Structure 1
């Protein structure tokens, strides 16, 4: 089946929220503290969509995954304990989640590939992201996809591992 990557629509919020609720539960079952404090929530998703930052990976009419993508918009990244690989424009993504029905198909990597294409289409060659220290699945994906550990950033009082991937122009 073909997957498509598109901007999320406000009518997608309920389906996206269901996907995120399952991801929140999986984080907890994995022993992670990530997303166990009421974030993200439906208001966060709605805000992503209103800012044109919410994106979905679809299989036909079914939403298989979600993420939020921003350009040069992550204030916490200015205060990294460490050093980014680049200092220019960057794309940052947050809240990657794959639907329960689509787990084990490598779709998180598919979403990251779509984010990298999003960046290159805008002539931006840096993708930055962060994750919890105990999110083993995301840490493995970063490693497999060529992201480089750059240091720590802080969100809501907690340290997170920060990564960057420099993209080639081709």
Structure 2
């Protein structure tokens, strides 16, 4: 049993599944939660209408959008990109290990509902996504986060990702992220 800051709760049934169009309202509510949390911590990530419903529906259509289910409730969302990320083509202040290998999966758009904060579910979700990646044949995973997002940087490092480099979002040098890699055996 995991303890929540909001009280004890039995979290015995936790799994992930592909998101469906029927999930979009709950997914957008989680995005709004995340946007408010990031803004309250002065983190500029996700503050300009991104990700929006169109982005999430595109992920669903591509079958790369996942939801974390806790006792039959959507508790989190994430995207598992399974093609080279255009934002990762050019890096500064570091480099990718095995940069010539374009076969990697990338975790993006990870967020947990505010109703489930304090239960370490982001770690659980990422670990499930690592397992899915492995089952899909990916031995390399990548992820990025804003430099000010200390909570996510801590989590990424705790799971075993190693810092690689700075990447620019949409080639914008004013919108950069710290990027990380994880290799599976």
TM over 0.5: yes
**Distance in 1 between residues matched to 2:86 and 2:157, nearest whole Å:** 24
From 57, 62, 71, the equivalent of 2:73 is 62
Q: Is the 8 A contact 2:106 2:141 kept in 1?
A: yes
Residue 84 of structure 1: aligned partner: 96
TM-superposition CA deviations, 1:8-62 (whole Å, max 9, x none): 0001000010011000100000110111111111111111101111100101321
Residue number in structure 1 paired with 2:180: 163
- Counterpart of 1:5 in structure 2 is 16
Matches within 5 A, 1:1-170: 1-81=12-92, 82-87=94-99, 88=101, 89-156=103-170, 157=172, 158-168=175-185
Partner Cα separation in structure 1 for residue 121 and residue 91 of structure 2 = 29
Work out whether residues 64 and 82 of structure 2, in 8 Å CA contact, stay in contact via their aligned partners in 1. no
Gaps of 5+ in 1: none
Provide the C-alpha distance between the structure 1 equivalents of 2:77 and 2:154, rounded to a whole number of angstroms. Answer: 19
Q: CA offset at residue 167 of structure 1?
A: 1.3
**Which 4+ stretches in 1 moved above 6 angstroms?**
none
Aligned equivalents of 2:70 and 2:155: distance in 1? 21
* TM value normalised by structure 2: 0.87
Q: CA RMSD in A?
A: 1.0
Q: Aligned equivalents of 2:50 and 2:179: distance in 1?
A: 19
Number of aligned pairs? 168
